[in-house]
Amino acid sequence: MPHTRELIDKVTGHYGANREALLPILQEIQRNEQYLSDEAMVEVAKTLDISSADVYGKATFYSFLDTIPRGKYVIRVCKTIVCDMHNKNKIIETIENLLKIKVGETTLNRKFSLLYTNCLGWCHKGPAMLINDDVYTELTPEKVRDIIREYKNKP
Amino acid sequence: MAERLQRLDMILGTYSPEKYKILEKNLSRPKNEIIKDLIDSGLKGRGGAGFLTGLKWKYAAMAEGEQKFVICNADEGEPGTFKDREILSKVPRKVLSGMGICAYVIGANKGYIYLRGEYKFLVPQLQKEIDEFHVYCDIHNLKFRVEIFLGSGAYVCGEETALLNSIEGKRGEPRNKPPFPTNIGLFGCPTVINNVETLVSAMTVCNIGPDEFKKLGIQDSHGSKLFSISGDTPKPGIYDLEFGLSLDEFVREFGDGDTKAVQVGGASGFCVPRKKFSQTTLGFKGGLSGDNLPTGGSMMIFNSTRSMYHVLENYLEFFEEESCGQCTPCRIGCQQLKKGIDAVKRGIKPPEYLEQLLSLTETMKITAKCGLGQSVANSFSSIVENFREEMIY
Ligand SMILES: Cc1cc2nc3c(=O)[nH]c(=O)nc-3n(C[C@H](O)[C@H](O)[C@H](O)COP(=O)(O)O)c2cc1C
Ligand code: SF4
Ligand code: FES
């Protein structure tokens, strides 16, 4: 697992090997490996000299951290009330049909995951979604089709 | 347009021509004077709870400690709120100036901007601004450094003590209060935690003085405030409005002509039905009993095509998912409320069961550990009581 080690070192280089580095380390691993494997969590625990249960507790607390593998591109569609009022269901349906997965699932090639999320802070431009860190607003089924096509063409 | 509805642009308006001029001006003022100005201005926190900003700074300034912190709360997770993102992307310099003045007043040398993970796209431009801010801190001899700390998708981390735990590398679970963060905050050190908008308003007070600031708004709710307006409205967006506005005026301006209810203050705020628009004013004092609603600035407008049952169900799902699960009244309470309204709707439970659910929210209000569990009662009771038929049929 040389890769994980490098990621951990990179973050502790900035914060030092103390607890304050924990969330940033987990975020960094999540970003690069798309989830937090048991091995990675154990490695983090060793580095910070805390129990792996502690690391697991942190990892499972946050909705943007996962302990099961996700796709390279994680799509999070807002399901909170304003986006819901603005037809988020149509958006979900469109993505489900395009990717042939249901909400909560990941495509077989591990390229896409489709998830719900809570209010993204773009209610005035709902429906809204995130793909990894990028925001897409004022979605329509047509717009979503274009966006997904674009991502399908990405490596 | 009613006078109070004019856009003030005090918060999102343009910068002063010289960078960090207001910061510089205030760094040579006596600290007590700044605190006094803030207290006189009546400025209250814009994060939802409405605590007097001047007092908060005063407590932290008085607290003993080698190390102190200033934290800008940019976790903005309340449904229907998006003004902090706008401030941070349009006028980050004002936020940093506010943090700088606070650091000077309380004697902090380190600051954090706790930015929700959903706003990660803001990091590059914000970091650039911070780097420049540091140069000005050095020029003006302010020993202060600011760092961005990214959240990871947890609404409860906006609660100030959960936020502290999150930075410290613990689960983002709220702590017991007291002790308050102004005495025992981040890593046990005195800490001021302010909302993004509060820091900008604090800077405004330091710039124009308390008297000018007080000219805006109403008794107990001074100044202007950013409102995030969404839902069934032809002009959703962010508006800088004066406090003291009646909901009647508000709806006339922003509604679509068919407004049935307005949710003030997000899912943890109150739902006001049409018949109460004229007697409701936007401000801090009173809660629901008075006619003056506290607000973090979220205004969600519903027209008559919306099912209020569905709205409430959506909120409860939100709370159920975002509850940190640390205390039983909130963890179990949110689940039971959601199950409960479902059972009434399906006719499995009689309509009178709603009274039991209402008393459950009262229990949660008293026994839950933090504002999340305590405030579920707000939207629950204001929707169930005002739209009872919709809950049953
Ligand atoms: C569940 C919960 C979530 C909160 N989320 C936020 C938030 O996202 N942003 C914020 O400024 N305050 C939030 N608050 C309020 C903070 O606890 C705190 O009162 C506020 O940051 C203080 O700043 P102010 O005095 O400037 O308002 C939240 C409170 C609770 C109970
Ligand atoms: S009230 Fe809810 S969110 Fe707050 S501490 Fe209790 S369980 Fe956690
Ligand atoms: S409700 Fe979807 S972004 Fe706020």
The string of DSSP codes covering B163-190 is HHHHHTTS---PPPSSSPTTTS-GGGS-
Q: Which residues contact B6 (CB under 8 A, 6 or more apart)?
A: B242
Q: For B271-387, where are the alpha helices, taking DSSP H only?
A: 308-322, 328-345, 353-367, 371-386
Whether the per-residue pLDDT at A38 is higher than 70: the answer is yes
Whether the per-residue pLDDT at A149 is higher than 50: the answer is yes
The pair of structure tokens assigned to A140 is: 């329509």
Whether the per-residue pLDDT at B14 is higher than 90: the answer is no
In chain B, what are the domain boundaries?
2-213, 217-303, 308-392
pLDDT for the residue numbered B9: 74
Please name which of A125, A123, A33 lies closest in space to residue B81, comparing C-alpha atoms.
Answer: A123
- Per residue in A115-124, pLDDT (tens digit) is 999 999 999 9
The DSSP output letter for B303 is E
At the fourth CATH level, which superfamily is domain B2-213?
NADH-ubiquinone oxidoreductase 51kDa subunit (3.40.50.11540)
Average the pLDDT over each of A146-155, B112-121, B289-298 and give the range with the smallest value.
B289-298
In A, minimum Cα distance to B170 occurs at A58
- Per residue in B270-292, pLDDT (tens digit) is 999 999 999 888 876 544 333 45
pLDDT for the residue numbered B50: 82
Average the pLDDT over each of A95-99, B168-172, B228-232, B284-288 and give the range with the smallest value.
B284-288
pLDDT for the residue numbered A2: 57
Testing ligand 3's pocket by substitution, the residue of A76, A82, A88, A115 carrying the most ligand atoms inside 8 A of its CB is A82
Spacing, Cα B45 to ligand 1 middle (Å):
9
- Taking CA B190 as the corner, what is the angle to CA B366 and CA B162, rounded to the nearest 5 degrees? 45
pLDDT for the residue numbered B291: 43
Task: Tell which atom from ligand 1 comes closest to the C-alpha of B74.
Answer: 9
Please name which of B163, B181, B145 lies closest in space to residue B74, comparing C-alpha atoms.
Answer: B163
What CA–CA distance (Å, rounded) separates B100 from B270? 35
Under DSSP, is residue A22 helix (H, G, I), strand (E, B) or coil?
helix
Decide whether any atom of ligand 2 lies within 6 Å of the B327 Cβ.
yes
Spacing, Cα B28 to ligand 1 middle (Å):
30
Under DSSP, is residue A91 helix (H, G, I), strand (E, B) or coil?
helix
What CA–CA distance (Å, rounded) separates B192 from B103? 9
How many CB atoms are located within 10 Å of the residue B84 CB? 29
What CA–CA distance (Å, rounded) separates B71 from B7? 29
pLDDT for the residue numbered B375: 94
The CATH code of the domain at B217-303 is 3.10.20.600
Do B199 and B102 contact (CB within 8 A), yes or no? yes
CA distance A63 to chain B (A): 5
B99 — pLDDT class (breaks 50, 70, 90): very high
Average the pLDDT over each of B243-247, B284-288, B381-385 and give the range with the smallest value.
B284-288
Whether the per-residue pLDDT at A89 is higher than 50: the answer is yes
Under DSSP, is residue B29 helix (H, G, I), strand (E, B) or coil?
coil
Q: Which amino acid makes up residue B363?
A: T
What CA–CA distance (Å, rounded) separates A43 from A55? 10
Decide whether any atom of ligand 1 lies within 6 Å of the B159 Cβ.
yes
Arithmetic mean of pLDDT, B2-12 = 67
Please name which of A125, A88, A86 lies closest in space to residue B229, comparing C-alpha atoms.
Answer: A125
* Averaged pLDDT of chain A: 96
Decide whether any atom of ligand 3 lies within 6 Å of the A78 Cβ.
yes
Decide whether any atom of ligand 1 lies within 6 Å of the B61 Cβ.
no
Decide whether any atom of ligand 1 lies within 6 Å of the B46 Cβ.
yes
- Per residue in B30-81, pLDDT (tens digit) is 999 999 999 999 999 988 778 899 999 999 999 999 999 999 999 999 999 9
Q: Which residues of B touch A61 (CB under 8 A)?
A: 154, 171-172, 324
Arithmetic mean of pLDDT, A5-23 = 93
Q: Is the Cβ of B321 closer than 8 Å to some Cβ of chain A?
A: yes
pLDDT for the residue numbered B118: 98
Decide whether any atom of ligand 3 lies within 6 Å of the A91 Cβ.
no
Whether the per-residue pLDDT at A95 is higher than 80: the answer is yes
* Averaged pLDDT of chain B: 92
Decide whether any atom of ligand 1 lies within 6 Å of the B225 Cβ.
no
How many CB atoms are located within 10 Å of the residue B356 CB? 11
A145 — pLDDT class (breaks 50, 70, 90): very high
**Out of A27, A82, A117, whose CB is closest to B80?**
A82
Q: How far is CA B375 from CA B171, B194, B341, B370, in A?
A: 21, 20, 18, 9
pLDDT for the residue numbered B295: 63
Beta strands in chain A, from DSSP E residues, in sequence order: 73-78, 112-117, 129-131, 134-136
For strands B298-303 and B224-231, give the pairing. Answer: parallel
pLDDT for the residue numbered B6: 57
Q: Do A24 and B166 touch (CB under 8 A)?
A: no
- Per residue in B102-158, pLDDT (tens digit) is 999 999 999 999 999 999 999 999 999 999 999 999 999 999 999 999 999 999 999
pLDDT for the residue numbered B223: 74
Set out the domains of chain A in order of their start, with CATH numbers: 2-61 (1.10.10), 73-152 (3.40.30.10)
CA distance A131 to chain B (A): 10
What CA–CA distance (Å, rounded) separates B157 from B173? 7
Q: How far apart are the first and last CA of chain B?
A: 39
Arithmetic mean of pLDDT, A4-16 = 93
Do A91 and B182 contact (CB within 8 A), yes or no? no
The CATH code of the domain at B308-392 is 1.20.1440.230
Q: Which residues of B touch A119 (CB under 8 A)?
A: 77-81, 318
Spacing, Cα B73 to ligand 1 middle (Å):
7
Arithmetic mean of pLDDT, A37-46 = 96
**Which residues of A fall below an 8 Å CB-CB distance to B?**
18-24, 26-27, 48, 57-58, 61-65, 79-82, 84-85, 117-126, 130, 133-135
Task: Tell which atom from ligand 2 comes closest to the C-alpha of B364.
Answer: 1
ipTM of this predicted structure = 0.96
